[in-house]
Amino acid sequence: MSTGNPDAVHARVRVAGRALCALPDEKPTLLFVTGLAAGGATLLSMRPPALGSLVSMVIHPIGLPALPSLEGRVIGLRVDPEHAERSGFEVVFLHVDEDALSRLQAVVAATRVAMPAVGRADAGTEHREDPRVSLDLHAVIALPDGQVTGRLSNIGMGGAFLVTGDRPLPDSVRPGTSFKLEFPDVGRGGTFLLKAKVARVAEPGEPRGFGIRWVHVHRTEERKLEALIVQFLVGAPLAPESL
């Protein structure tokens, strides 16, 4: 399987555009808009904000001019550990003036991407389990007793699974062992180098390898990691120059 083609693993998630979103006390973040209506939007996210959070956003619909800045409030969220493409949050727009509403309605009519069922049904619960996305990336691990190479078969904001094939695992591979993991940042260039721990070793009947949990991921790396996961779901990078 190819190491650098998200489309080889996932069918693309339908999107209406991208949004530059800003939460209080946080740097603006690019997210994909998966649903758009005159009253609100849904956005794909592996780490959605808390219910009730205020968010300002500039939405860039596909093939259309950007909308004026909109203010919204998070009214629903979902982190789906089985289907990462369903993870995200819903916002309801606040204080939309007539001009902005008219432009928004025109974009909604042009995009015709329906609002997925993310929001109100989940509005009373915050699920913080770790959604994973399947992929196939070469990875290298530096352990106390040697180096291990393998393929990442899935990845999420909380960890990943490394398939090592037929090679025997070093003795140090046991739950709790710390190491650094290096793998490519597909689509953006460069590499990830993340601190992690062994979470579990594969059971008989599973592909040989072990589960990984990230340790103390810097916020900058966390943003890049989410962008990588979303890229494999959507088939397009979340890069500012792509707006």
Can you give the length of the chain in residues?
243
Please, where are the H alpha helices in the chain? 98-111, 219-234
What confidence score (pLDDT) does residue 63 get?
A: 86
DSSP for 40-87, please give it.
EEEEE-SSPPPTT-EEEEEEEETTSPPPPPEEEEEEEEE--SS-GGG-
Query: Is 6-129 CATH 2.60.40.2130?
Result: no
pTM: 0.72
**Topology annotation, domain 132-234:** Thrombin, subunit H (2.40.10)
What confidence score (pLDDT) does residue 6 get?
A: 47
| Phi then psi dihedrals of residue 209, to 5 deg | 160, -160
Neighbouring CB atoms inside 10 A of 241's CB total 5
What confidence score (pLDDT) does residue 25 get?
A: 80
Of 225, 83, 211, 95, nearest in space to 152 by CA: 211
What are the residue ranges spanned by the domains of the chain? 6-129, 132-234
Separation of alpha carbons 227 and 143, rounded Å: 27
What confidence score (pLDDT) does residue 116 get?
A: 53
What confidence score (pLDDT) does residue 9 get?
A: 43
pLDDT averaged per 10 residues in sequence order, the chain, 243 residues: 45 80 87 90 90 94 90 89 83 91 87 51 43 89 87 92 88 91 86 93 89 91 87 71 42
Q: Do domains 6-129 and 132-234 have the same CATH topology?
A: yes
